[in-house]
Protein backbone atom coordinates (compact mmCIF):
# COMPACT_ATOMS: atom_id res chain seq x y z
CA UNK A 1 0.00 0.00 0.00
CA UNK A 2 2.74 2.30 0.92
CA UNK A 3 5.63 1.47 -1.27
CA UNK A 4 8.62 3.40 0.02
CA UNK A 5 12.23 3.32 -1.09
CA UNK A 6 15.42 3.93 0.90
CA UNK A 7 17.61 6.68 -0.52
CA UNK A 8 20.93 8.21 0.51
CA UNK A 9 20.95 11.94 1.24
CA UNK A 10 23.56 13.69 -0.91
CA UNK A 11 22.83 17.34 -0.22
CA UNK A 12 20.45 19.15 2.14
CA UNK A 13 18.74 22.46 1.38
CA UNK A 14 17.52 23.47 4.88
CA UNK A 15 15.72 26.65 3.79
CA UNK A 16 13.52 24.99 1.18
CA UNK A 17 13.33 21.75 3.18
CA UNK A 18 14.51 19.66 0.29
CA UNK A 19 17.33 17.23 -0.27
CA UNK A 20 19.01 15.69 -3.27
CA UNK A 21 19.06 11.93 -2.75
CA UNK A 22 20.41 8.88 -4.50
CA UNK A 23 18.31 5.79 -4.95
CA UNK A 24 20.32 2.92 -6.42
CA UNK A 25 22.20 5.24 -8.73
CA UNK A 26 19.42 7.60 -9.79
CA UNK A 27 19.24 11.02 -8.23
CA UNK A 28 16.13 12.96 -7.34
CA UNK A 29 14.96 15.76 -5.06
CA UNK A 30 12.68 14.92 -2.14
CA UNK A 31 11.00 16.91 0.64
CA UNK A 32 12.53 16.66 4.12
CA UNK A 33 9.93 18.59 6.14
CA UNK A 34 8.94 15.37 7.95
CA UNK A 35 12.48 14.43 8.96
CA UNK A 36 13.89 17.54 10.64
CA UNK A 37 17.64 17.52 11.18
CA UNK A 38 18.40 14.91 8.53
CA UNK A 39 22.02 15.04 7.43
CA UNK A 40 24.06 14.29 4.35
CA UNK A 41 25.08 10.65 4.27
CA UNK A 42 22.03 9.39 6.16
CA UNK A 43 19.47 7.15 4.55
CA UNK A 44 15.82 8.13 4.37
CA UNK A 45 12.70 6.25 3.42
CA UNK A 46 10.92 8.09 0.59
CA UNK A 47 7.18 7.91 -0.12
CA UNK A 48 5.25 10.18 -2.54
CA UNK A 49 8.22 12.53 -2.86
CA UNK A 50 8.66 13.05 0.89
CA UNK A 51 11.22 11.50 3.20
CA UNK A 52 9.00 9.93 5.87
CA UNK A 53 11.65 8.48 8.18
CA UNK A 54 15.41 8.42 8.70
CA UNK A 55 16.71 4.88 8.60
CA UNK A 56 18.64 3.68 11.61
CA UNK A 57 21.83 2.13 10.28
CA UNK A 58 22.91 0.79 13.63
CA UNK A 59 19.57 -0.98 14.06
CA UNK A 60 19.88 -2.43 10.57
CA UNK A 61 23.24 -3.97 11.46
CA UNK A 62 22.18 -5.06 14.94
CA UNK A 63 19.05 -6.75 13.65
CA UNK A 64 21.06 -9.05 11.42
CA UNK A 65 23.79 -9.64 13.98
CA UNK A 66 21.18 -10.70 16.51
CA UNK A 67 19.73 -13.32 14.21
CA UNK A 68 23.15 -14.64 13.27
CA UNK A 69 24.00 -14.95 16.95
CA UNK A 70 20.76 -16.77 17.64
CA UNK A 71 21.55 -19.24 14.87
CA UNK A 72 25.13 -19.80 16.04
CA UNK A 73 23.88 -20.56 19.53
CA UNK A 74 21.12 -22.89 18.47
CA UNK A 75 22.54 -24.85 15.55
CA UNK A 76 24.32 -28.09 16.30
CA UNK A 77 27.97 -27.89 15.33
CA UNK A 78 28.81 -29.23 11.92
CA UNK A 79 25.72 -27.98 10.13
CA UNK A 80 26.34 -25.27 7.55
The minimum distance between CB 55 and other proteins, in angstroms, equals: 5
Q: How far apart are CA 70 and CA 56, in angstroms?
A: 21
What DSSP string describes 11-38? Answer: EEETTTTEEEEEETTEEEEEE-TTSTT-
- Return the number of the residue (20 or 55) whose C-beta is nearest other proteins: 55
Q: Which residues bind other proteins (CB under 8 A)?
A: 1-4, 6-8, 22-24, 31, 33-36, 43, 45, 47-50, 52-53, 55-57, 59-64, 67-68, 70-71, 74-75, 79-80
Amino acid sequence: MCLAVPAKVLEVDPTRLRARVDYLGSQTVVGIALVGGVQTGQFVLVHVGEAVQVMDEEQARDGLALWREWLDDSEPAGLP
